[in-house]
Structure 1
Amino acid sequence: MYKVVSLFSGCGGADLGIVGNFEFNGKKYDENPFSLVYALDIDNKALNTHRLNFKCDNVVCGDICEIDAKDIPEHDVLVGGFPCQSFSTVNPTKDPFDDRANLYKQMVRIAKEKQPKVFIAENVKGLLTLHKGSIIAKVIKAFEDAGYIVKKQLIRCADYGVPQKRERVIIVGVRKDIHQEYIFPEAPNENNWQSLSVAVHNLAIEDKKYYFSEKAVQGMKNAKNNMKRGLAQNLDEPCLTVTSHLAKVSLNSRDPVLLVDPEKELYRRFTPREAARIQSFPDSFQFAGSETDAYRQIGNAIPPVMFWHIAKSILPILGDTKE
């Protein structure tokens, strides 16, 4: 099996995609020849979910800045969705040079010291255009200096079978001495997207805790902006991008919601399981902790189905390093 180290692993969306062997929307995503040998995150609640779903003997809760590369096992593939809040287009005033934005340097450090054959990094769309492209250029240059030939691509998750209009930058680096060109996988669902109905089986549900209050609805109607009802989702289309704020009680945000009854102005948020399906987690995937914890973990995750395709695409690069 090819050995994988997962940084910023969260609840394990990327790791599920790497490992495979799950079913989503009636399709089986076969097991991949990867073995997860190390997973690191600073959020122990997310790691509790990770522990529920993966067989990994080395799950570490800690700050990547304080982790010595010598303590990370040798591996073939390094994976990491380094924190992206500072690169987000949702909040363009965020400082792109704060401590979280510089966490990509920690992934570069591990890649440079451990020299895996391949690394895969993930981040938000805004990374491509922030500061007129100078930030992404800086990130790529750092990985190149660590010994890698680097390629990037903006991925529309809906093109890969995820019922969500999520767009993410995938950065893949191949160690220079391997002399093989990486090619991003073709999108199997391009122009044939999965609708939100895959995740939301019934608009109206009995549990009232998921419905927004009349006060929240009136607050939305009186909002001095153009959002208002614009984020109520159509079940016949993929969902807008879900975030870590799905536990909210206010309707005045950029998060997608469901309009259950237009005449009664009845809105509700997604249940955790619906949100997980929107991210392409199988129903067998378990979440530890409270519902608020689950929403945060789901919103911060990398869609497993999309990442499964990326994982498959690096296999020709890895050659005969399996053990």
Structure 2
Amino acid sequence: MSTSTPRAIHLFAGVGGLEAGTGLPGVGIEWDANAVATRRAAGLPTVHGDVRKHGPRDFPDATVLTAGPPCQTFTIAGSGAGRTELDRVIHAVKRMGAGDHIDPSMFSDERTALVLEPLRWAIGDYEAGFNAIVLEQVPQVLPVWQAYAEVLRDHGYSVATGILRCEQFDVPQTRRRAVLVARLDGPVRLPEPSRRPYRRGIPQDAGDGRLEPWLSMGDVLPERGEFTVISNYGTGGDPRNRGRRTSSEPAFTVTGKISRLRLIDPDGRELDRLTPSEAGRLQGFPADWPWSGNDIPQQQGNACPPPLAAALAHAATAPAAAIAA
């Protein structure tokens, strides 16, 4: 790769989590007007549009491809259509590798086909290819990334895939992501974690001494003092099953429902709910990220945590000799 800073095209760019973390200049394509409002407030170059209406030839100076396709049909909290049709998605990946065109109508929900868009950009009508690729999604998409890996290797890429835990990459939150990193100019491997995995009931300072402790909510929201978060994530709305975490633990996975979290002090008194800045910090964003537009919680829940993005970008774009060392 050139020693100059590579330029990137960010698909499904959202509010800029991949850009904020990677520091890669370039352009993001995003269709949601609310996320676009936040991107523009942050000064991020943006195409407000549909990635399906564009292609790599529209961005000839881009040497890095990043993407976090919509997860609604794959996530446990979503429709489940993508999970149901996972075999069909993987078959579509293989067909694309053989040069076939895929009709999105083959899926019961057209959003499922969006997970194929990064592959279209990577190996489609584009002779040069990208020097590096970074993809992230919910854990249920890992088999799709593994199918991608086979196709990308046939096109000359070195590829690594796996599941990473965000709390091991400077994010004060337990969030697991399926990731893919690929590069053309040498070997690639997944980033090494810098922090210990969170285990309920295990003290923050316990564990592998070679790694830093995970970050707690209190570490990034010190002005809040001690508090407990009460969540009904995954409870089916049953109050008896509501999960609780104290400020000395990482946050639950940040979703579009983060504004509904209740906070109480050590005496059980209700506290103000999380501000957009506070919720953003739990997702790894700077405190002054300019959240704009409507439905900010959903923007935050959809975002890639910037510290994870930074680790993935380094794995994919650092000098090849450093990766091989």
TM-score category, normalised to shorter length: 0.7 to 0.9
Q: Is 1:102 matched with 2:113?
A: yes
Check the 8 A contact 2:183/2:316 in 1, yes or no.
no
SS of residue matched to 1:116: coil
SS of residue matched to 1:159: helix
The amino acid of 1:100's aligned partner reads R
Q: Is 1:63 matched with 2:50?
A: yes
Offset, 1:166 = 0.8
1:76 is matched with: 63
Check the 8 A contact 2:218/2:226 in 1, yes or no.
no
SS of residue matched to 1:158: helix
2:306 is matched with: 304
How far apart are the structure 1 equivalents of 2:80 and 2:293?
32
How far apart are the structure 1 equivalents of 2:122 and 2:314?
20
Offset, 1:142 = 4.5
Check the 8 A contact 1:198/1:277 in 2, yes or no.
no
Which of 291, 296, 305 lines up with 1:294 in the alignment? 296
Q: Is 1:186 matched with 2:158?
A: no
How far apart are the structure 1 equivalents of 2:320 and 2:7?
11
How far apart are the structure 2 equivalents of 1:232 and 1:199?
18
Check the 8 A contact 2:218/2:225 in 1, yes or no.
no
1:49 is matched with: 38
2:76 is matched with: 89
Check the 8 A contact 1:199/1:275 in 2, yes or no.
no
How far apart are the structure 2 equivalents of 1:102 and 1:147?
24
Which of 165, 174, 196 lines up with 2:183 in the alignment? 174
Q: Which runs of 5+ in 1 are unaligned?
A: 20-33, 206-210, 249-255
* Sequence identity percentage: 26
SS of residue matched to 1:233: strand
Q: Structure 1 pair 224/16, CA: closer, same or farther in 2 (3 Å)?
A: closer
Deviations 1:254-306 (A, max 9, x none): xx542346655x3764221111010111112111124xx22111111111112
SS of residue matched to 1:232: strand
Which of 181, 195, 201 lines up with 2:216 in the alignment? 195
Offset, 1:62 = 1.1
How far apart are the structure 2 equivalents of 1:73 and 1:228?
55
Which of 5, 9, 13 lines up with 1:5 in the alignment? 9
Q: Which runs of 5+ in 2 are unaligned?
A: 86-108, 198-212
Q: Is 1:232 matched with 2:232?
A: no
Check the 8 A contact 2:8/2:64 in 1, yes or no.
yes
Check the 8 A contact 2:19/2:25 in 1, yes or no.
no
Alignment of 1:143-154 (within 5 A): 143-144=152-153, 147-154=156-163
Which of 258, 265, 273 lines up with 1:246 in the alignment? 258
TM-score by length of 2: 0.73
Check the 8 A contact 1:232/1:258 in 2, yes or no.
no
Structure 1 window deviating more from structure 2 (94-103 vs 136-145): it is 136-145
Tell me how large the CA RMSD over aligned residues is.
3.0
Offset, 1:159 = 0.6
Offset, 1:169 = 1.2
How far apart are the structure 2 equivalents of 1:313 and 1:137?
17
Offset, 1:13 = 0.7
